[in-house]
Amino acid sequence: MGQAVSIYGLSRRGRAPLFIGIAILIVGVGLFAVSLAPTLRGAACGVLGRVGIDRVTPGCAAAARARLAIAAGQAAVVRNSHRAALAHFRAAVAAAPDSADAQLARGETAEILGEYGEARAAYGRARALSGSFEATLGEGELAARIGDVETAVRLLATATPPRRRSATFAFFGGAATMISCAADQWPDPSALWRECVPATRRAGHRFFIASRNAAAQIAFRSLVEDGQRERALAYARDHGWLALSSDWCGGESAFDFETTGALAVLAHPDRAGCAAEHGIRAADLGRVRMARFLLQHALATPLDPSIRARVEHTLRYGLPEHDVPKLAESLYRTASRLDWVYRQPTEEIGVCHKVIAADPRLSWPYHVIGRDHMLRGDHRGALPWLEKALEVGPRDLKALYNYAVTLEWLDRREEAIAAYQKVLAVEPDNAKVHASLGMAFDRLGRHDQARQQMELALQLDPRQREARDYFNHQFGRDARGGPTAFTAR
């Protein structure tokens, strides 16, 4: 009985047939796996992988190598080493070109690094292999990013997430709302029921709708950005969005701010002004086409004078003067994400060079490269890039400001002051620039002018840190702000 259940108890002679049997079984399963279609083979190898024998099974060895490479790539992603991760995913694809997981991982990482060509090919292969939602969404979204609107619309029309996934998304969205609401309302138990439960229900519903329409929103925005206004409106109508809300200008929206803004413009053209804030936000994020669409429509309607001024200012100084190709816009956003989200300045600079190749007239990438030099303390190296940025985009105020800062570092203080003053001529209410100008005056020994600028900075923004530090250094901490030394801070 013991011999039947344990191989460890067998004699050397008794073990041999057992090992031969296992080897025949592995070869048999392997040959069977090789004969299967790629999808089924993947599943079969997956099962063998669970018990750890896929690496020694013919037909599954490549899949096993791919699995290990994918795991290594994922670990690299967790370490925020996307370039290393991409190398692993490439190795995975080389080992198992039919692995949809490897292709998808390669596509996602290549996209993050701005390798759009490679990403598109990988997504396409992944979609062909698995037809999964992620692969279709990835390929469709990338098509939208490079301006291939028709492909984007065609692919994204078929990309709907599984219902269960949307439900999970809605559950977690609702739970987050409940936690956040409860943190505020916990001292009053009745408010938990009165306020938090309805808010949770509404949030869950919003998250569910957003999830179901995630891909469609991308297609819709592509149409809007491409100037296909009527088609975009029809698309929204076909998806039942116009019935979701009677007023896209107010209330809670399940969609992201750009889609909401575009729907407001299309559904209520006479009240397009309500999309002004969305437009300004889009401009801040570098969404040139969407921002221009929203802001120009907003400007055509009656607006509060202060909002009108901001819209005009954003159109004039916050966006490039020329039409930026969609590819350049998307690459620029990829570069920004590499900086702000992934903190990979070297990769960011690489993508900026691609932006320059796609649109040499856009000042932003030159400015980013210049700023990168500044952050590394290489102000001499920063100067030519900032000069180039200002040459192609003389209205780029951020570049002008950093140009002034760089001049100051290079001890060209009078020129720096002139540059700050140019920024202030356009943005007289910019507290930060007033403070920088104040510091420049102070370093030149022009203390009265310095103080004047610092006072202005604090009047415009009482929390402006540079100005506060200046006064604290000059006059000591203002003890009047609180009854004790700690509370006054």
Partner 1 sequence: MRALTLVVMLALVLGGARDVEPAESPAVLLERAHQAYRQGRFPDALDAARRAAQGAPRSRDALLARGTMAEFMGEFDEAARAYGDAIALAPNDPALHYALASLAVRLGDYDRALRELDTIFKSQPWPAQLLFRYAPASVQKRLMATNRVLAQLVQLQVDILMEKGDLGAARQTAWRYAIVEPGRDYCGESKGPDASRVSRDERFTRLRLATLAQPTAGDCIWWYGQYLTDDGYMRLGRLIVTEALKHGDSEERKQPGYRYVRSRLAGGSEVPKRAESLFLAARQRYLRDGDVDGAERLLDEALRVAPSFVRPYTMKARIAQDAGNPDAALQWLRRGLEADPDSWRTLHNLGRSLLELERWEESERALVKAVQLFPEDMEGRLRLARALYAQGKFDRYAAETRNAIQIARGWSRGSAVAGAATFLEKFDRWGPGAAPPPAPDVEPLLGYGQD
| Chain residues that interact with partner 1, rule: CB under 8 A | 183-184, 186-189, 455, 458-459, 462, 469, 471-472, 474-487, 489
d(CA 122, CA 401): 41
**Which is nearer to partner 1, 262 or 431 (by Cβ)?**
431
CB of 452 to partner 1, least distance (A): 12
CB of 179 to partner 1, least distance (A): 11
Q: Are 338 and 344 in contact (CB under 8 A)?
A: yes
Q: Are 10 and 3 in contact (CB under 8 A)?
A: yes
CB of 362 to partner 1, least distance (A): 36
**Which is nearer to partner 1, 188 or 247 (by Cβ)?**
188
Q: Which residues contact 110 (CB under 8 A, 6 or more apart)?
A: 86, 116, 118, 119, 122
CB of 430 to partner 1, least distance (A): 16
457-to-30, 424, 426, 479 alpha-carbon distances in Å: 74, 11, 15, 20
d(CA 185, CA 310): 36
**Which is nearer to partner 1, 6 or 484 (by Cβ)?**
484
Cα-based torsion angle of the residue sequence 162, 165, 166, 170 in order, rounded to the nearest 10 degrees: 170
**Which is nearer to partner 1, 251 or 476 (by Cβ)?**
476
Write the burial class of residue 375 (CB in 10 Å: 0-12 exposed, 13-18 middle, 19+ buried). Answer: exposed
**Which is nearer to partner 1, 400 or 467 (by Cβ)?**
467
**Which is nearer to partner 1, 158 or 459 (by Cβ)?**
459
Q: Which residues contact 323 (CB under 8 A, 6 or more apart)?
A: none
CB of 58 to partner 1, least distance (A): 57
CB of 177 to partner 1, least distance (A): 16
Sign of the torsion angle spanned by Cα atoms 89, 92, 94, 100: negative
CB of 462 to partner 1, least distance (A): 5
**Which is nearer to partner 1, 198 or 462 (by Cβ)?**
462
**Which is nearer to partner 1, 104 or 467 (by Cβ)?**
467
**Which is nearer to partner 1, 1 or 183 (by Cβ)?**
183
Angle between helices 431-443 and 447-460 (to 10 degrees): 160
**Which is nearer to partner 1, 387 or 455 (by Cβ)?**
455
- For residue 317, the 8-state DSSP code is I
**Which is nearer to partner 1, 378 or 466 (by Cβ)?**
466
For 220-277, give the secondary structure using H, E and C.
HHHHHHCCCHHHHHHHHHHCCHHHHCCCCCCCCCCCCHHHHHHHHHHHCHHHHHHHHH
The span from the first CA to the last CA of the chain, in angstroms, equals 80
CB of 375 to partner 1, least distance (A): 16
Q: Which residues contact 66 (CB under 8 A, 6 or more apart)?
A: 92, 93, 95, 96, 99, 101, 102
CB of 474 to partner 1, least distance (A): 7
CB of 413 to partner 1, least distance (A): 19
Q: Are 258 and 266 in contact (CB under 8 A)?
A: no
d(CA 424, CA 117): 42
CB of 456 to partner 1, least distance (A): 10
